Every structure is written in structure tokens, then in C-alpha cells.
A and B are shown apart, each in its own frame.
Chain A
Amino acid sequence: MKELVCIVCPRGCRLKVDEENGYAVTGNSCPKGAEYGKKELTAPTRVITSTVKISGAAIARCPVKTDRAIPKAMIFDAMKLLDSVELTSPVKTGDVALADVLGTGANFVVTRDL
């Protein structure tokens, strides 16, 4: 039995995950919690938010995020990729800044119109 705090939403439910019984989750308030509990113990993932360089905009950095969660173990490698990205204004929220991060199928997308 593993105890976890669910990070799916700000509520922060305290989950109990039974590894011996097919990762059955208790303590969750929604189905997403059950999904998280299992995934966190089998293949944990995170959405990454960061910035990339942008030229021609009012500010020097453009915020980006992965459009889906990527394996936790890839976080720092994914961050490294962002160092070489440089956008040029104008960009729109949702524009792809870097496609298919490390073969995960996730893209880094712009999160602010600049």
C-alpha cells in the first residue's frame, strides 16, 4: 500500500494505492484521481511549463508548456531542448514551439499571445 497526494487538481486528495491488487486506488474524489494513483506508481508523467527565447516581442521570453504530460524521467532532457528554440513575434497561444518532444508525441506549445 502506497500513500500519495493527488496532484490532478488543487484539492490534493490523499490517495492509497494498493500495488498488490492491480493498483486499486482509494481516497480519491474523482476518476481522475484513480487514474493518477495508478499511473504515478507505474509510469509517472508531468506537464512541463517553461519559457523559450522570443525576438521582436515586448518581453524576452515566451511561456510554453507540453500539451500533454510526458514521462517524469524526461523532464530535464526536455528542458535542455528548449535552450535552442527561438521564436519570432508574433506567436499565438497554442502555436507549436517544439514538436514531438523526445519522441513522446507531446509538443511544447506557446501559452501567451506575443
Chain B
Amino acid sequence: MFDVLIIGCGVTGAAAAYALARYDLRVGIIERFNDVACGATKANSAIMHAGYDPVPGKKEAVLNRRGIKTAAKVCRSLDIEYKKLPSLVVAFNEKDMEKVRELYERGIANGVKVKLLDGDEARKAEPSLSPDVIGALWTNESAIINPWEFATAMAEVAVVNGAVLMLENEVTGIEKNDGYLTVNTDRGSYSASYVINAAGAHSPDICAMVGDTRLKAMPRSGQYYVLDKEEGAKVGSVIFGCPDENGFKGILVAPTVHGNLLVGPTSDPTDDPEDLSTDPAVLSRIKAAGLKMVPGIDYRNVIRQYTGIRPTTNVRDFVIDINPCCDRMIDLASIASPGLSAATAIGEEAVKLLKKAGLELKPNEFFRNSRPPVTRMKDLNRIRRRAIIKKDPAYGRIVCRCETVTEGEIVEAIHRPIPPRSIDAVKRRVGAGLGRCQGGFCSPRVHQILSRELGIPMESICLDKQGSFIITGKTKN
């Protein structure tokens, strides 16, 4: 019996678990995939938005602003890859400028320090910008982040403080009982006094399980290009095109915390929130939009494409409330952009709502706001690196050449509170395979290390989600 059971361990669920770790509660987290942060948290723009996009007064606006402030603190205290970076919304014509001015007004109303720049000022702020840019909105209250680490770190703190993470559990139904709820999954049944619905694109389905059909999933798909670090080095800001006629943010060009360059996303309605395929026509649209803003992008240096699903619904704002059909369920639904930016604030909202719903909150006097330290060899000076290698030579053995990730760092990640169990999960933890060869050289090595450290056969190790087997058997059998 849990006091609180969180459905979904994306950044929203992780942030809720993190916020709840401060209280003396039995917390469970169920996640349908074999790792945390596998849905929208895995595939997004990795931006902490300054907060000039949301319409003032919406939950999105308030929580975005509050979220980025707490997120900066969380990233500092939990050692999460995070970098302050100015952002611009660029205009190519007068119509664009109207939108830029509208965003400026929203920014002011939301409390963001924003500036309007003319074309030359914009290019001075971001020299990679096209000569055709006639003006821009500018702020330095934005940042880039490692979204995987952000979610994982918060979930790790929750686990370190006693939360139970149950992977590979897909919710099949919820039973309302007297004084508690039972959540059934394909793996078992879990009872809890309260449930948090943080199921991302599937949160409307969870609502429906308690009889609440007001939310309709209207997921939107966004495709991206990832480019080599050579391209990442060309851009020093997050550069947005103007929002489209539906009000969705424009395509952006932005460096990542790993030094690559992202170009994307589109925002197209999709029927299937599981469909993460990429499409050449869509990608060529992105290519053109990126080039229009930053003509110097060399797309020959593309290393990957991906698709993310925004968990949008028929409600054009975050849905954060006690469920109208079940007063023991808190919905954290419709968390599309700026969901990553707002995550920590959403987590805190969840706590407030649980209290409102009747959950008794006693502080956890053993609460530790920390997780085991992460060794990042690349960022250390020579003396520190030597000391670490002396203690454990595996930190001197490079496995991923492109990102210079050592065996020691991979082994360390595998023994963390939330162990990565697939090749891509290792990639999300330590960056091995993230680079230009896309794991061509290191994935067989990572595969071996996973098998050795977890004590499971090579054949059982997946590329990513459960079922994504790499090996079909042995030769000479």
C-alpha cells in the first residue's frame, strides 16, 4: 500500500516524486518502459524557456516562470548539466515583428526581462544569424539543459529517499475503493491512497480509467535534426523562428549541453502518440527553416534525426488539478511545452493538491537532497583525472571515442540508484554513443559492460525500450 502512486516517470512524474521525497510518505512510481524519461522527456528541445511564450495568467505562464528559477537551483544542487544561454525570437518581416512585439508584451506581463532588438543588434548578439533578420526579441533568462539527466536525477533523489520505482508496468485500469485506489498494470496490482497521473501523452487515458472523459489527447509530433559539434560551435544562443498561426512555437536552432546543434521541431497533429518515425518531407521543411535563420548550418554534418511527441490535449494549458471524477487522483496532464521548464514547479503543485485532497504531510526528517555524485572525466582537470584513474583504472579506459566516455563512468552509471539497462539508457546517462559515430564503435562494448555488470546475458540486453533486442543468438551453435 502506497501513500502516493505516481503513474509515469517522465520529467513531470520525476519532479512530483522529488517534491514528495521531502515528506514522510510511501511513494511508488510506475513506468511502462524499461527506463525513466522515455516519452516526451526523451525527445524535446532541451530548453529552459524564459517564459515569454505563454499567455499571461495561464498555468503555463506562472509555472514556467516559477519552474525555471527552482530548476536552476535543482540543477546546481544535483549536478545536472545545465547552461544559461540567451534566446532570441527572430523576425524576417513586419508580420513577424508584430508577433515578436506580442511576445515582448507577454514577456513583460510574465515578468521576463526581455528586449527588442533591430536586425543589426540581433546579429551582434548572435553573429550566426541571417542578414535577413530585421529584428528580434532577446532575453538572457533562458537556458539549455540535459532533460534526461534532469528527470533521472530527480527520480534518483526520490529513490534514494525511499520511493519504489517499478519499471515495465503499463497501467491497464484503476479501481476506486473505499479510501484508496488500486492501479492495475500488465505486471500486477498496486494500491495507494492517492494517485498522481503524470502519464504524458497517455494522461487522458488514465483520466478515462476513473471515468473522466473531459480530456482528449491531441498529441503533436515534432521532428528534429541533431548535428555534429562542429555545427554546435557555430551558435551561441537559442534561436526561435516566430510562432505559427496556431500559436505553437516556431522551429528553433539551439546548441545542446553536449555541444551538438538541434534544429527543429515541427508541430504536426498526429493520431498515434507511439509513432516516433521521421519523414523526409517534414525534415526538409525543418532544414529550410533552420537555414533561413542561420545560413551557416552545414547539414552534411547531421548525425541523427528524431521525433518527439508533445502530450497536448484539447485544453490549451497545463491541466493540474484534483480529478473531477476521482478526488484521490491528481492530474498533471496536458504538459506540453514549457513542461520541462515548469517541471519542478509542477511537482510542487502536485504536493499542494495532495494536501488539499486530504493527504497528511509530515516532513521526512531523513530527507537527503542529493544523489550519488557523477564522475564526468571530460570536465575534470588533469590532476583530478589522474587521481581517479589511480583509484580505478577503468576511468582511464575510453569506451566511447567520440564523446570520450570511460568504462569507469559507464560502470558507475550502471550501479546508480536507477540503473540503465539498455544501450540507449547508458547513452542518456553518460553520453556514450551520443556522438558522430552514433555508437558504431562503442555500442558492442557498452553491450558487454551492461551484460557483465548486470549479470544478464548479452541476448537480453536491448537497444532501447523492452523488446528492442540487438542479438538473435550465437554463431556456431
Contacts and interface: CB of A to CB of B under 8 A. Distances in A.
A46 interface: no
The interface residues of chain A, by DSSP majority, are classed as strand
Interface string A39-81: 0000000000001110000000100000000000000000000
**Chain A: interface size category:** under 10
A51 B475 CA distance: 9
A20 interface: no
A50 B477 CA distance: 14
Contacts of A52: 476
A52 B475 CA distance: 9
Contacts of B475: 51, 61
Contacts of A51: 475-476
B407 to A, nearest CB: 15
Interface in B416-430: none
Interface of A: 51-53, 61, 82-83, 85
A22 B477 CA distance: 44
A85 B476 CA distance: 9
Contacts, number: 10
A61 B474 CA distance: 11
10 contacts: A51-B475, A51-B476, A52-B476, A53-B476, A61-B475, A61-B476, A82-B476, A83-B476, A83-B477, A85-B476
Contacts of A85: 476
Interface in B271-328: none
B461 to A, nearest CB: 16
Interface string B452-477: 00000000000000000000000111
Contacts of A61: 475-476
B157 to A, nearest CB: 40
CB-CB nearest 3 A-B residue pairs? A83-B476, A53-B476, A82-B476
Contacts of B476: 51-53, 61, 82-83, 85
B470 to A, nearest CB: 16
Interface string B83-104: 0000000000000000000000
A52 B476 CA distance: 7
B364 to A, nearest CB: 49
B264 to A, nearest CB: 41
A53 B475 CA distance: 9
A43 B477 CA distance: 31
A104 to B, nearest CB: 21
Contacts of B477: 83
Contacts of A53: 476
B93 to A, nearest CB: 58
A61 B477 CA distance: 12
A47 B42 CA distance: 48
Nearest to A52: B476
Given A51-B475, A52-B476, A82-B476, 7 more contacts: A51-B476, A53-B476, A61-B475, A61-B476, A83-B476, A83-B477, A85-B476
B441 to A, nearest CB: 16
B471 to A, nearest CB: 12
B13 to A, nearest CB: 41
Nearest to A85: B476
A61 B475 CA distance: 9
B472 to A, nearest CB: 16
B401 to A, nearest CB: 20
A64 B423 CA distance: 31
A109 to B, nearest CB: 17
Nearest to B477: A83
